[in-house]
Chain A
Amino acid sequence: MRYIDEYRSGGLARALASELAETMPQDRALALMEVCGGHTHAIYKHGIDELLPPGLELVHGPGCPVCVIPVGRVDDAISLALEPNVVFTTFGDMMRVPGSKGSLLDARSRGADVRMVYSPLDALELASANPEREVIFFAIGFETTAPSTAVTLLRAQALGIENFSVFCNHVTIGPPLKAILDAPELRLDGLIAPGHVSAVIGSRPYDFIASDYGRPVVVAGFEPLDILQSVLMLVRQLAAGRAEVENQYTRLVRRDGNPRALEAIEQTMELRDSFEWRGLGSIPSSGLRLREELADWDAERRYEVPGVSVPDHKACQCGQVLRGLVKPWECKVFGTACTPESPIGTCMVSSEGACAAYYHYGRNRPKRGTVPA
């Protein structure tokens, strides 16, 4: 397949891997965090980790839209889905995420009208075609998906479609990265920054990681050669004692991102004072809500939601997995009580979750431990 196969060449991969082995410092181990769950998925799917030299470890990060949604927000979503006359629309992955009393899929088997959509615009279309029903869209994701929600809201406003609203759970990538870098537990030498988020926000917002924390950052694409090359770029920086923000994903990412997408977000959403993250707790200025002008399309204003913070299942270690503190297989319930079929935590649900990626693709791997603090 053109434009895909070029980025999956085994020959180029071998060349990069041997260059990486030569560049790798002999005297120390390195831990690099791939922030984005899409990268985690690609790493295991293509076996990229098997091409890395000894002493180089990839640590999974928090960039999985489904994984970071806390239990309380899932409960809120289910409560909205059970409102009379509501059609609750969601991305497919979110349907299987367990709340404190089951998932949206369970709510559906009890009669809630929960439907999977591929885009918020599909949800809007559903509202327009069914004026007698109330359609709610479960908006989740980082700056990657926020623009499509924003554009949908602007269209709903322009067309005056009143039986449509958004349950907004959009989040921003900067604050959780800062929270992870501020945590004393883990040694991280560099970060592989998410490609699609960066296509929207640009590479500039990562400057603080290089300047304030002295850690190199490389914005990476999602094909296996993108990731391997980004790892090499980070190791080169570390070997040379540099800490800069570099962009490997130049075919999509600009320094200042996509101004039109950012403007759409700005027009429709504003930062919440704080937002609860699974595993990371409440982080100030990290979540987005709809602006006052769009109150009519805001499901949280139109309906009562419980809005209760619910602790994770006691056995679940998604929080530590999302912060890179434990590997999926080190979690006590991994693969036993918690499987993709009956997940306890979000990391086992989403294809971008580290546990699901490891469970599906990585069970043949030697179980290398986490780099200690």
Chain B
Amino acid sequence: MSEKASRRRPRVRDERITLVHGAGGKATRDLVEALFLEELGNPLLDPLGDSALIDAGGVKLAFTTDAHVVQPLFYPGGDIGSLAVNGTVNDIAVAGARPIALSAAFVLEEGLSTADLRRVVASMAEAAQEAGVVVAAGDTKVVEHGRGDGLTITTSGVGLVDDRVSLGAEKVRPGDKVLVSGTLGDHGMAVMIARGNLELELEIESDSASIFPLAESLFALGEDLRWLRDPTRGGLATTLNELTEASGLCVVLEEKALPIREQVAAACEILGLDPLYVANEGKLIAVVAPARFEEALALLRAHPLGADAQVVGEIEPEPKGLVLLQTAFGGSRVVDMLSGDPLPRIC
């Protein structure tokens, strides 16, 4: 079965944009494929990777962009500034590249506190320094009060592709191992709790960080490193579904192996959310050839950001296109893509 034939043709049937289109699940993908790709499609954009890979006269560049909106602007473990830097740096890193330079465009809403803006920009500077990139270009616009979300930051970035690696869903083979670099769901849950309307007294910090050092250590695996992603919006579940859809293979996850902080697991239990769908901003997922997975795990764990790294699953040939989970209880289930925003359950 060809992977293309099994896919439904994406359509945008909705008359208007709703929040579902921004949640990172199927509706987002349909919007991108049926509207943006239809109008803007080209060989660089069409693969819809985290970064576009550009051959610039023999030099291979990774190029990407990301718009950052988050409420609140500050939360435990990070803020919109560090997020804007790390989000773009990480998209470059998982393309197998070393981030070099970023641009940053700010849309400021009339009334924004200058002190808050300085705090955000200082945080960007710190994150950029840690990630080894510079902000090489920028732009600022101010919109009327009520016409912006306080502050939005769009960052673009370029990186130099590491010539040892060759990544892609088409490189993934049955038997390969799936690794995650640490605990799942920290960022999304930290932000949800920081919004302050859940009345949960839990101390959960965002994991926002540059994952380039982790990615770079894995580049040493060469061709045995098959695929890398950062599971941001939509979480591990959505990112792995993108892999199974693109590769036509199956991922089988082991529930017992998934690293999830007790506080995050507890918050998810209370709210009826699944940590597999909650966003991460400082984690990577790697698919590695079976012969090298122990080495990959050791490489990740050697870095403080990868101390909780785990092998969480394996690639299997069937059932095609699905992500499955072996539950700790002894059953199994499908792990679907996110549909709509994750919503707390009613009762």
Asked if A and B bind, the verdict is yes
Binding site for B on A (CB under 8 A): 1, 4, 8-10, 13-14, 17, 38, 44-51, 65-66, 91-93, 96, 105-106, 108-110, 116, 118, 122, 140-142, 144-145, 196, 224-225, 339-342, 350-352, 359-364
* Number of B positions contacting A (CB below 8 A): 39
Does B329 contact A48, Cβ atoms closer than 8 Å?
yes
**B147 within 8 A of partner (CB):** no
Are the CB atoms of B324 and A93 closer together than 8 Å?
no
Query: Interface digits, B319-334 against A, CB 8 Å rule (1 contact, 0 not)?
Result: 1001010011111111
Q: How far is the CA of A19 from the CA of B269 in the complex (A)?
A: 29
B329, A341: Cβ atoms under 8 Å? no
B343 touches A93 (CB 8 A): yes
B59 sits at the interface (CB 8 A): no
Residues of B within 8 A of A363 (CB): 322, 334, 336
In the assembled complex, which residues on chain A have CB atoms less than 8 Å from the CB atom of B17?
Answer: 109
Q: How many Å lie between the Cα of A13 and that of B330 in the bound state?
A: 7
Residue of B16, B18, B333, B334 ringed by the most chain A CB atoms within 10 A: B333
Please measure, in the bound complex, the distance between the C-alpha atom of A108 and the C-alpha atom of B329, giving whole angstroms: 40
List 9 A-B pairs, minimum CB-CB distance, nearest first: A47-B331, A92-B343, A340-B339, A361-B333, A144-B347, A109-B16, A46-B329, A50-B331, A360-B336
Tell me the nearest residue of chain B to A359, going by C-beta. Answer: B336
Instruction: Please state if A351 and B345 are interface contacts (CB–CB under 8 Å).
Output: yes
Which residues does chain A contribute within 8 Å of B343, judged by CB atoms? 92-93, 116, 351
Interfacial residues, chain B to chain A (CB-CB below 8 A): 13-20, 25-27, 30, 197-198, 262, 265-266, 269, 272, 319, 322, 324, 327-334, 336, 339-341, 343-347
Cα A359 to Cα B340 with chains together (Å): 14
Given known contacts A1-B265, A110-B16, A196-B347, A224 and B329 CB-to-CB distance under 8 angstroms: yes
User: Chain B's nearest CB lies how many Å from the CB of A29?
Assistant: 21
- A4–B266 alpha-carbon span in the complex (Å): 9
Report yes or no: A47 in contact with B332, Cβ–Cβ below 8 A. Answer: yes
Q: Assess the A352–B266 pair: CB atoms within 8 A.
A: no
By the criterion CB–CB under 8 Å, are B330 and A47 in contact? yes
When distances are taken between beta carbons in the complex, the residues of chain A under 8 Å from B322 are: 363-364
Q: How far is the CA of A371 from the CA of B266 in the complex (A)?
A: 38
Partner of B347, one of A46, A65, A224, A340: A65
> Quick check: B347 and A145 within 8 Å, CB to CB?
yes
Partner of B346, one of A9, A140, A359, A362: A140
Cβ-defined partner of B344 (8 Å) among A50, A92, A225 = A92
Chain A contacts for B272, CB-based, 8 A = 351
Q: Which one of B198, B332, B339, B341 lies within 8 Å of A118 (CB-CB)?
A: B198
A25 to B100, CA, bound (A): 69
Given contacts A1-B262, A352-B346, contact A364 B332 (CB under 8 A): yes
Task: Provide the residues of chain B in CB contact with A118, threshold 8 Å.
Answer: 197-198, 344
CB distance from A270 to the nearest CB of B (A): 22
How far in angstroms is the closest Cβ of chain A from B317? 14
Chain A residues with CB below 8 A from B329, complex form: 8-10, 13, 46-48, 51, 224-225
Contact of A10 among B269, B319, B328 (CB under 8 A): B328
Chain B CB within 10 Å, residue with most, of A49, A118, A145, A339: A118
Contacts of A144 in B (CB 8 A): 347
A343 to chain B, nearest CB (A): 9
A residues less than 8 Å from B19 (CB atoms): 105
Query: With A and B bound together, what is the CA distance between A345 and B215 in angstroms?
Result: 44
